[in-house]
Structure 1
Amino acid sequence: MTKTTDFIPQEYTQKLTEKGSFQWSAPSNIALVKYWGKKENQIPANPSISFTLNNCKTITKLEFEPKKSTSKDFAFDLFLDGKPKEDFKPKMQKFFERIEVYLPFLKDYHFTISTENTFPHSSGIASSASGMGAMAVNFMSIEKLFNPEMTEEYFWQKASFLARLGSGSACRSIKGSVVVWGETESIENSSDLFGVEFLETIHPNFQNYQDTILLVDKGEKVVSSTVGHELMHNHPFAQQRFEQAHDNLARMKQILTDGNLQKFVELVESEALTLHAMMMTSMPYFILMKPNTLEIINKIWKYRQQTDIQVCFTLDAGANVHILYPNNSKDKVLQFIKNELIVYCQNQQYICDEIGIGSFKLN
């Protein structure tokens, strides 16, 4: 079984004195079975499974050069869309501190981080997942220069491990179209330390699965996900919820291999509402859904009943609605979205996405 110490490198075989750069793209992801609540060191309180997205991604270029000074601090500049982004720096500083023991070269270099998202920032799409995912694969590319014998398996596993230390769900944005994070009986080799690819054969019903994201509210959340996770510690229903997530993940494994769309719809919507129920029953309690979120949900239920098209919704920790549906229903569902749902979106904005394959290196 993999331990955290397995990711602390022994002596590197190569010295690196040159400057250089890498550029990677990493996607966002949407959880089908939700993770809510965590232990120390970004360990999830329950397992989760997600679809990796294709179009909503972060592209990050990481330039590095040996430091001229003997300073023992981390040295980095951070740019978002070409402009300095000072308010991101504390989060990045914390990330460097958490991963330093696993990447001992970090204090020897000055890094320039240039990042951009293909989706609007603060649109309620998990940019921390794609952003930290992109940082992790860039750092692993540098480590591979120090250790050229590194195996591909180790590269991807450690990238997911590092990404998790930046943002929990980022470990599900590294590799694979369906990813499981968190140790659970039903998934072989599952781990709390990193995400693992779902290796069962996925039924054709779920290939090219579509996700259209309705941007209901692009403002800052009233309660951050970090605070929300903390509130699970003394939550009256926490234990039952954690057990339910294990059961639901086992059920989702069966659904994805059998191709039962009706059961998929029921489980995904139930999980989304359970996530928000945990927020509404924590102390202090809070609601992240907006009136328009509920309007959209009701419209989806009505449309599904009238047409028998297996379209469903899921929610992250926010007001926006992800509409999931099979590729063969795409034209009809998009027409429904344009006719009936965009009126509930901020500035009528929505993003069309689909299942992707994870992060990749750009030339």
Structure 2
Amino acid sequence: MGPPSTWTAPTSRCTGQEGRDRLQLQGRPAGRPHVATWAEAGVVTAADLLAGDEDPRPGAGSLIERSVATLNAAGVTARPKVRGDVGYFAKDIAQAAVEAGCDFSLGVTRNPAVWRAAAAIPDDAWRKAERMKGAQVAVCDYAPAGWPPATMTVVRRVKVHATDISADPRARRRRTIPKAQLTLALDGLVGHVYAYSFIATNLDVSTPAKTVAVEAWHRMRTDIEDRIRDAKHGAALRHLPSGSRAANTVWMWGALLAVNLSAWLQELAGLDDGDGRGRNHLGTLRHRLITVPARLVRHARQVTLRLPPRQQLLAQSWPGSPATHLDLTTRPIGHVPAHGDQRTRRHPGNRHAHPPKHPHHPSPITDA
């Protein structure tokens, strides 16, 4: 695996039974899992279950501290990096990351000072962003008050055609466009405008190439949303069973442990190369690897695992072990042997066409 990029946490809401610390979400009580993950490994390193209306920022420092302790216990020696969206824009979180021996990259709230700094960026300072069409990246002269020394602000702007701007004043995209530009676009006076996002970081952005790399890395923080989605839809985190926070916390950790087991299994089986790009969701993994019907066939001092057609994930993850003479085949179950093999073929008068069962030599079995 590459250097750890911990974390950070979305606070996805889950419905649950009635409890006094539950927020009503669409008429039902809700809990709020607050999760930190080791990004490259896809493993949850720390988590808290909050009430639906509870601010996650006060507990973020504790999540960072526990995550770093988990990485140290795992033998990780590289300096961790903490990344989070604009919901974690707080100097205390940045300071907690530095005190824990981490670098940080956190989304910045759009405020008048950062808007003024973005407007002052020279046109020739912008560079094309990685893996994002129509996006450009630069560094602006803005440092949030009270943040750790050497904090810099990276700006990303994306070209938006005027015809693509929603007329709904509640649209999120409208909040990312400077008010003056938005007015011109809505009045039809300009053909396009730019939508802006801001990142406060202490990572090295001293050159345009480094700035582009940091912004692209920060943008991949949304990988944690996939971990939460997997826990909700693949491990029953979507519905909490009790009105007790303690009981629901145990339930939450059961779901997160299932996510971790899935990541470990795929890492050990060679299905994920360590960056999360080839990782399967729990539902897919369960369907294609865990609950696959198969048959163990013993023949000529070898054991063959016969898989149904088109089930290649198990064969990919278990290519066979010479020590146990275990081979894999994807021949359909019940396949008739070749013409030359008379020992197991059906043949008139062959009393041993089906070998008798014996306690020490079991017949072929079906293993789900």
For normalisation by structure 2, the TM-score amounts to: 0.26
Q: TM-score, normalised by structure 1?
A: 0.26
Bigger proportion of residues as helix: 1
> Rg: which structure is higher?
2
**Larger RCO, structures 1/2 (Cα 8 Å, 6+ apart):** 1
